[in-house]
Amino acid sequence: MALFFISLLISVGCKPQQNIVEGYKDVSLGGFAVAIPADWQEVELSPEIADAVTDSEGTVIAVSYRDKSATADFALIVMDVRRAFELEGDTWEGWDKLYEEQGLTKKEYAQMVSDHIFTTLWISQNKSMQEIRMFTIENRDACEILFTAEREDIPVNENILFVFEEDKVGIIFIIVENIDWSTFQSCWPRIRDSARFE
């Protein structure tokens, strides 16, 4: 009888219960904060991100987190745009001036930087943008970009958010294998909407 019920469950595609997020905690970096699931722990930066931070000459800082099952990778990044311009010998005069002089909107800036991030992380294979939208978080412009792609031939979901400050950009992104995305999909709106400069 027991074997019968087990085979019946298998035949109807019974799946194990998904992880349930029991709470959130605030983490911050360089004045940029976000709420993430409470059981996610800080981990060492990947070599690719660590090298990018080192090469930035102080214009980029970053911290990484991972969920307890090691299926979701999360990064919090702050870019000091003013310092980056000054290192190039230019003067940062704000996002409006950048648009006036270079025709570069915040949305286009976010797309350019996200492409660079994913290329740095070797996730550009079969990358496909699913959605991009501008909106506001606490009166600051924000850009959300949703991707699907492959990392080492494994399909993944990548969600990335840019929050624009006067002379900084806060970035959060999460990378999850497609097979596990249903477990973390409901976390993203909570994480995204909590992002803020303090």
Q: According to the model, what pLDDT value does residue 123 have?
A: 54
Q: According to the model, what pLDDT value does residue 10 have?
A: 40
Per the CB < 8 A criterion, the answer to whether 37 and 68 are in contact is no
Q: According to the model, what pLDDT value does residue 147 have?
A: 86
Phi then psi dihedrals of residue 94, to 5 deg: 110, 165
Q: According to the model, what pLDDT value does residue 40 have?
A: 95
Domain annotation for the chain: domains and CATH numbers: 19-197 (3.40.1000.10)
Angle (CA) 184-189-192 rounded to 5° is 110
Q: According to the model, what pLDDT value does residue 28 have?
A: 97
Rounded Cα distance between 145 and 151, Å, is: 18
Q: According to the model, what pLDDT value does residue 78 have?
A: 96
Q: According to the model, what pLDDT value does residue 19 have?
A: 52
Q: Which residues of the chain have pLDDT under 50?
A: 1-17
Mind giving me the DSSP string for 43-84?
Answer: EPPPHHHHHHHHHTTTSEEEEEEE-TTS-EEEEEEEEEHHHH
151 beta partners: 154
Phi then psi dihedrals of residue 181, to 5 deg: -60, -35
Q: According to the model, what pLDDT value does residue 4 have?
A: 38
Q: According to the model, what pLDDT value does residue 170 have?
A: 97
CB-hemisphere CA count at 13 Å for 15?
A: 7
- Neighbouring CB atoms inside 10 A of 195's CB total 21
